[in-house]
A and B are shown apart, each in its own frame.
Chain A
Amino acid sequence: AQSVTQLDSHVSVSEGTPVLLRCNYSSSYSPSLFWYVQHPNKGLQLLLKYTSAATLVKGINGFEAEFKKSETSFHLTKPSAHMSDAAEYFCVVIPGYSSASKIIFGSGTRLSIRP
């Protein structure tokens, strides 16, 4: 079965320190992987996506993620957190064996930034 697990429901970091949001997936096929961000009372916005090209993917607002097939992980990182990064982050997997592959969202990680 295909699945995605976000290992932390809540992460809190100080402003200016690194951010790490962890995501593991399970897929029998070459997956497409995404990170979306959801600010309060706003729609989901794409941060970055992996679609079988370079394993290190750079996204908006200084975020990046690395696809590690051997570890079935797609962790999201940022070198220095900013107050505006406080939001809910979702890891998404699409197994990729057909155009109708079931899209699976993780349960989300709430990122808090301490001044």
Chain B
Amino acid sequence: EAGVAQSPRYKIIEKRQSVAFWCNPISGHATLYWYQQILGQGPKLLIQFQNNGVVDDSQLPKDRFSAERLKGVDSTLKIQPAKLEDSAVYLCASSLDAATAGQGDQETQYFGPGTRLLVL
């Protein structure tokens, strides 16, 4: 079974430029997550999709970050314009179906290798 795919693996841009990341989850996984992991910290959830709908985007800086999952499969995360503090690893994860897993029985998340972003 193929894992979660992400591209690009590395990206270097200058501040105020735009950047987009792509994620293809494991086939059949309804739930998709984007995380931001700043060096030395744990991952922070940015947005969670259930199929093509947004479940939680409370920690997404909506003035500059956007994400979509139009067909309920792959997803893109965009930053426009980028700031120095956006330098981080952006992780994508997927799970079978968090909505039907039941209280206290969340499905396991499978993570991609991440995209390392450096903003100069």
Contacts and interface: CB of A to CB of B under 8 A. Distances in A.
Given A32-B106, A94-B106, A105 B55 contact: no
B106 A100 contact: no
Interface in A67-114: 90, 94, 96-103, 105-108
Interface in A44-79: 44-46, 49, 51-52
Q: From DSSP, what is the main secondary structure of chain A's interface residues?
A: loop
Given A30-B104, A43-B112, A94-B106, A102 B45 contact: yes
Interface residues of A, number: 28
Interface residues of B, number: 32
Nearest to A51: B105
Contacts of A97: 103
A38 B50 CA distance: 25
B41 A43 contact: no
18 contacts: A32-B106, A34-B108, A41-B113, A43-B111, A43-B114, A51-B104, A51-B106, A90-B42, A96-B103, A98-B103, A99-B55, A99-B101, A100-B55, A105-B42, A105-B44, A106-B42, A108-B40, A108-B42
Contacts of A90: 42-43
